[in-house]
Amino acid sequence: MAAIKASIGTELYKIEIESPTGNVVIADEPVAKGGQDKGFSPKELLASALGACTCATVRMYADRKAWDLEKVEASVELIDEEGQTKLIRKLQIIGNLDEEQRTRLLAVANACPIHKILTHPIVIETVLV
């Protein structure tokens, strides 16, 4: 289970997000939307979760196989249109890898935990406390 605490005070749209271990990330809206652009927008954070998870999952798999993977780069674009949200993930795998290894790493990327979460039904329950 992952748990975070998000809070906002009187500073417009600046949100502090804290993990149970004390890590802090700032989220904000762009200036064009009334924020101060002091951190990632909520949509950028969602796209970031997919990019980070993809990179970590591919790295872990390649390390277990002792493959010569130098670097993984993932860029994620979130497009939110009427009735549909689309995530376009571009993956660059750099290293001395053959085509079979590269194909396997693509399959691993598509099985990262955040990818699985985002491609399955999601239920959001909100409770006032």
pLDDT in tens, 46-83: 999 999 999 999 999 999 999 999 999 999 999 998 88
CATH T-level fold of 42-119: GMP Synthetase; Chain A, domain 3 (3.30.300)
- Asked if residues 57 and 51 have their Cβ atoms less than 8 Å apart, the reply is no
- Asked if residues 49 and 39 have their Cβ atoms less than 8 Å apart, the reply is no
Domain residue extents for the chain:
1-39, 42-119
Task: Say whether pTM exceeds 0.85.
Answer: yes
- What residues contact 77, with CB distance under 8 A and at least 6 apart? 47, 87, 88
